[in-house]
Amino acid sequence: MRIAYLVNQYPKVSHSFIRREILALEREGLEVTRISIRGWDNDLVDEADLAERARTRYVLQEGAVSIALATAFAAVTRPRAFAWALLLALRMARRAERSLPYHLMYLAEACLILRWLRQAGVAHVHAHFGTNSAEVAMLVHALGGPPFSFTVHGPEEFDKAPLLGLAAKIRHAAFVVAISSFGRSQLLRLVEHAHWGKIQMVRCGLEQTDFETHSDIDDSRTLVCVGRLCEQKGQLILIEAARRLAEANVDFTLTLVGDGELRQDIAALIDKHGLADRIRITGWATAGEVRSHLLRGRALVLPSFAEGLPVVIMEAMALRRPVISTYVAGIPELVRDQEHGWLVPAGDAEALAAAIRRCLDSAPAELQSMGRAAYARVRAQHQIETSAQQLKRLFEAGASEARSSQTG
Query: What are the residues whose beta carbons fall under 8 Å from the beta carbon of 253, sequence distance 6 or more?
Result: 221, 222, 223, 278, 279, 280
**Chain center to CA of 53:** 18
pLDDT of 14 over the 90 cut: no
Considering the domain 208-381 in this protein, what is its CATH number? 3.40.50.2000
On average, the pLDDT of the chain sits at: 95
Whether 198 contacts 221, CB under 8 Å: no
What digits encode the pLDDT tens for the residues 210-254?
999 888 998 899 999 999 999 999 999 999 999 999 999 999 999
Instruction: Check residue 240 and give its pLDDT.
Output: 98
Instruction: Check residue 50 and give its pLDDT.
Output: 92
Instruction: Check residue 404 and give its pLDDT.
Output: 65
**Chain center to CA of 332:** 17
Give burial (CB, 10 Å; 0-12/13-18/19+) of 298: buried
> Measured between alpha carbons, how far is 182 from 201 in angstroms, rounded to an integer?
10
Q: What is the pTM of this model?
A: 0.93
Whether 237 contacts 312, CB under 8 Å: no
Share above pLDDT 70 across residues of the chain, in percent, rounded to a whole number:
99
Over residues 270-281, the mean pLDDT reads: 97
pLDDT of 4 over the 70 cut: yes
Instruction: Check residue 330 and give its pLDDT.
Output: 96
Whether 341 contacts 322, CB under 8 Å: yes
> Measured between alpha carbons, how far is 267 from 281 in angstroms, rounded to an integer?
8
Backbone angles phi, psi at 243, to 5 degrees: -60, -45
pLDDT of 34 over the 90 cut: yes
Whether 73 contacts 42, CB under 8 Å: no
Instruction: Check residue 371 and give its pLDDT.
Output: 97
Domain boundaries along the sequence of the chain: 2-205+384-407, 208-381
Instruction: Check residue 406 and give its pLDDT.
Output: 62
Over residues 373-384, the mean pLDDT reads: 97
> Measured between alpha carbons, how far is 267 from 260 in angstroms, rounded to an integer?
12
Alpha-carbon torsion, ordered 373, 375, 378, 383, to 10 deg? -150
> Measured between alpha carbons, how far is 322 from 335 in angstroms, rounded to an integer?
9
pLDDT of 403 over the 80 cut: no
Strands of the 124-128 sheet, one edge to the other: 56-58, 31-38, 2-9, 124-128, 148-152, 175-178, 199-201
Whether 408 contacts 154, CB under 8 Å: no
> Measured between alpha carbons, how far is 21 from 216 in angstroms, rounded to an integer?
29
Q: Given phi > 0 = left and psi -120 to 50 = alpha, else beta, which region is 116?
A: alpha
> Measured between alpha carbons, how far is 269 from 250 in angstroms, rounded to an integer?
19
pLDDT of 405 over the 70 cut: no
> Measured between alpha carbons, how far is 303 from 346 in angstroms, rounded to an integer?
7
Instruction: Check residue 408 and give its pLDDT.
Output: 52
Over residues 322-330, the mean pLDDT reads: 97
Instruction: Check residue 219 and give its pLDDT.
Output: 87
258-261's contacts with Cβ under 8 Å and 24+ in sequence apart are: 258/225, 258/226, 258/227, 258/228, 258/229, 258/282, 258/283, 258/284, 258/285, 259/228, 259/229, 259/283, 259/284, 260/228, 260/229, 260/230, 261/229, 261/230
Whether 322 contacts 340, CB under 8 Å: yes
What digits encode the pLDDT tens for the residues 94-145?
989 999 999 999 999 999 999 999 999 999 999 999 999 999 999 999 999 9
Considering the domain 2-205+384-407 in this protein, what is its CATH number? 3.40.50.2000
Q: Please count the CA atoms within 13 angstroms of the CA of 144 that sit on its side-chain side.
A: 13
What digits encode the pLDDT tens for the residues 186-217?
999 999 999 999 999 999 999 999 999 888 99
Whether 302 contacts 280, CB under 8 Å: no
- Categorize the per-residue pLDDT at 407 as very low, low, confident or very high, splitting at 50, 70 and 90: low
Whether 217 contacts 242, CB under 8 Å: no
Instruction: Check residue 76 and give its pLDDT.
Output: 97
Among 29-33, 155-159, 173-177, 313-317, the least confident range: 155-159
Q: CA of 185: how far to CAs of 170, 199, 209, 311, 335, in Å?
A: 13, 9, 32, 20, 19
Query: What are the residues whose beta carbons fall under 8 Å from the beta carbon of 360, sequence distance 6 or more?
Result: 221, 250, 251, 252, 298
Do you know the residue count of the chain?
408
pLDDT of 45 over the 90 cut: no
